[in-house]
Structure 1
Amino acid sequence: MPRLVLFGVIIVAAVIIYAAIDCLMSRANEVRSISKVSWMFTIVLIPVLGAVLWFLFGRPSAGPGPREPRRPSAPDDDPEFLRNLEVRRRQAQKEAELRAREAELRAKEEGRNKQNDDGKPGA
């Protein structure tokens, strides 16, 4: 019999502690019925009944509601990161094309200069 009473006390204490932590961790704007502070006082001052009331009437509902937008967990899930990556890739491609054109123009200019130097009399 004492073991059963001890087991019951442990279960009741665990439920009360869970209710208190759940109340503390919930957002104030999502708590139903009364304010979050009032729920904490109810859970602490009326232990068993307060915990039961919290689970029935105060706990935030699991349904859809106003929530913060979920941040992507990996860089490849972030659309802004992917957009930035694409912009960087395009810029690098344009820079490479520009360098190639500059090198081509330099080569043509050097070829013309060489022809002019070879074709001049008395050089």
Structure 2
Amino acid sequence: MARFLIIGGFLAVVFWVYSIVDCAVQPASRHRGVSKTAWVFIVVLLPVIGGILWFTLGRLRRGDVDTGYVTGPDDDPEALRRMSTAEQDARIRELEAELARLDDESDGADPRS
């Protein structure tokens, strides 16, 4: 019985340390609810329960993160669905014209030619 208590205590300490490190190294944008500092205190002061709370409530999943990166309408399928066919055709013509302009600019700049 004492062997199980020692192993359980060791596993609890490992989980506690892993929770503290995971909470501390995550960027502030991956913390849900309260601030990063508050989560670290929760995990430190409530060893096993704090870690469980951190992994279930406080940590955002990688796919849930709002990175602040804004995609253009050409990369957003939802925006493309909202566009009419005429708008899509006009956007394609604009992009083709811009690509042709960029090709023309780069034709004279290539030293290997």
Structure 1 length as normaliser, TM-score? 0.54
Provide the C-alpha distance between the structure 1 equivalents of 2:68 and 2:7, rounded to a whole number of angstroms: 40
Does the CA-based 8 Å contact 2:29-2:66 persist in structure 1? no
Indicate whether 1:3 and 2:3 are aligned: yes
Provide the C-alpha distance between the structure 2 equivalents of 1:48 and 1:8, rounded to a whole number of angstroms: 11
- 1:23-102 pair list within 5 angstroms: 23-67=23-67, 90-93=110-113
Which residue identity does 1:30 align to in structure 2?
A: R
Provide the C-alpha distance between the structure 1 equivalents of 2:6 and 2:20, rounded to a whole number of angstroms: 21
Report what 1:116 is aligned to. none
Report what 1:20 is aligned to. 20
| RMSD between superposed Cα atoms in Å | 2.2
Does the CA-based 8 Å contact 1:39-1:54 persist in structure 2? yes
Q: Give the total of aligned pairs.
A: 76
Does the CA-based 8 Å contact 1:26-1:60 persist in structure 2? no
Provide the C-alpha distance between the structure 1 equivalents of 2:65 and 2:29, rounded to a whole number of angstroms: 11
Change (3 A) 1:67 1:2: same
Q: Residues 39-72 of structure 1: CA distance to partner in whole angstroms, max 9, x if unpaired?
A: 1101111111111110111012232433387xxx
| Greater Cα shift, 17-26 or 58-67 | 58-67
1:10 Cα offset (Å): 0.9
- Higher RCO (Cα < 8 Å, 6 or more apart): 2
Provide the C-alpha distance between the structure 1 equivalents of 2:60 and 2:31, rounded to a whole number of angstroms: 5
In terms of Rg, which structure is larger?
1
Identity percentage over the alignment? 30
